Structure 1
Amino acid sequence: MSSSIFKYKKFEDKSLSIFKELKIWFAGVDSFNDPFDFDSKLLKASLEQVKNICENYSSEISLLDFSQIGVFSTSRTRKNQLMWSHYADEHRGFCIGFDRLKLEGHLKDVTSVDVRYQSTYPISEISKKLEAGAAENIDLEFLKYKYSYWRYEREWRLIGRNLGGKGVEIDGKMIRSVAFGLRMKEEDKSRLREILSSSEFSHVQIYQSECNDDKFGLKFTRLN
């Protein structure tokens, strides 16, 4: 599997701060766009079910605190038209390619997760882990699963405690590539290319996304 992971962004000052401040932002679990992803009522009900199955871990489960957990969500692909539409302002934005291995090496206390998709809450999976004695990081297990309809996102999450709503500094070398959207304005491209002209980003590969000639899909042309 490629070690690149991708972040789709709308073109705006907040998005450009990734380059200007060299920070990535971890969303709090209460800000997810899918209400079923981490709904407090569903979570509470799921925890009660796990407690009933794994009575020996009832006290540990009761003490779990999700309020400060932060998630940096990415995708394993930059060719997904739906992701470009939903997260990159209908192809008017851009997509950043990160070096996953360098990010993981830099973010020592962060858990890296290839999200799994299914139609049910992971009560059975988490209960089996507890019954096998794997209680460590059990709170993060709930963030490894999403509803099956989100499978197209091919999401890769970086999850950290005490990072909800916070920015974390990174090194410019952790950014591998930037791809411009099909509908990105020329003035926006010029502004972003000016930022990337800094020596800090001399290694970053710049691409233009284009329509495939013979099928519904995207292709990327290297610009530098």
Structure 2
Amino acid sequence: MKLYKHGVINENLLTSLKEKNHWMSKPENFNDPYEFQFKKVSNEELDEMEIDQDFIDNNPDVTDPMLLKKMVLKEYQNQIQNFGVTCFTENNRNMLMWAHYSNNHTGICLGFDVGANPKEHGYIKVRYAEEYPEINLSSIWNAEGLMKILTTKSIDWENEQEWRRINEDGNQLHPYGSNLVEVIFGCRATIENIEKVKAILAGQNIGFFQIVIESDNFNLGIKKI
């Protein structure tokens, strides 16, 4: 299976290609303010929540149990905002994604071989829903629950067929999770940018392609270059 990552051809991308890494952004930098949310927790639900003793010991001046529980939730929200996320798609011919994420078709789309089981390489499929995910207050730091928050988006985005890789340290560069095997240039990519990318990746087992405008339909064609 291959997953694809759109990008703009600039100095940052060229350096990333040389060093084989991705920029993983913190949630605050994403274009959808509805992401990385969870359902509001009622006071009744909070009342049933048990607080870890270490958290109590680290906040000796706070004696109100309800306030302590709200502080736990706040810390949870803050922790979510520190994660780094980078995004991929199953579909390399989505016209809207080429326009939005590859600089109006002047950019690039990188194809990675993620094998038969992408989860083994740290790729998590995005879940599309009409409601925010719920958190389990009995195991608030459970990894599965955190991943659900980090990989749930509004159903309005489901056409993107998105997958994600996640790291605890956001706004940093992190190594590829799998091999780069394919590079697709937008139909408006310049010869100069194409040659820059090909020079960086020369001698590697990578296929180079370009999107072409079809003569009689709105489909995105692809040709080998």
CA contact (8 A) 1:9 1:94 kept: yes
**Identity of matched residues, %:** 26
Shift in Å, 1:99: 1.9
Tell me the equivalent position of 1:150. Answer: 157
Asked if 1:187 is matched to 2:189, the reply is no
Which of the pair has more CA radius of gyration?
Answer: 2
Q: Partner letter of residue 218 of structure 1?
A: L
Name the Cα RMSD after superposition: 2.7
* Cα distance, 1:119 vs structure 2: 2.2
Q: Is the 8 A contact 2:84 2:172 kept in 1?
A: yes
Query: In structure 1, what is the equivalent of residue 19 of structure 2?
Result: 21
Are the counterparts in 2 of residues 9 and 93 from structure 1 also a CA contact under 8 Å?
A: yes
What displacement does 1:104 show? Answer: 5.6
1:31 to 24, 29, 32: 29
1:91 counterpart = 2:102: no
Distance 1:219 1:57, change over 3 A: farther
1:109-148 matches, within 5 Å, as: 110=122, 112-123=123-134, 126-127=135-136, 136-137=142-143, 138-148=145-155
TM-score of the two chains, using structure 1 as the length reference: 0.78
Select the residue among 200, 208, 211 that pairs with 2:210: 208
Alignment partner of 1:68 is 2:66: no
Gaps of 5+ in 1: none
Quick check: 1:177–1:204 contact (8 Å CA) kept in 2? Answer: yes
Amino acid at match of 1:190: E
Q: CA deviation at 1:153?
A: 1.3
SS in 1 for 2:99: helix
- Once the two structures are superposed, residues 123-156 of structure 1 have per-residue CA deviations (whole angstroms, 9 ceiling, x without a partner) of 3xx45xx78x796212222112111111121110
- Assess if the C-alpha contact under 8 Å between 1:103 and 1:174 holds in 2: no
Q: Structure 2: state its 5+ residue gaps.
A: 53-71
- Looking at structure 2, the residues matched to 89 and 165 of structure 1 have their Cα atoms a distance apart, in angstroms, of 21
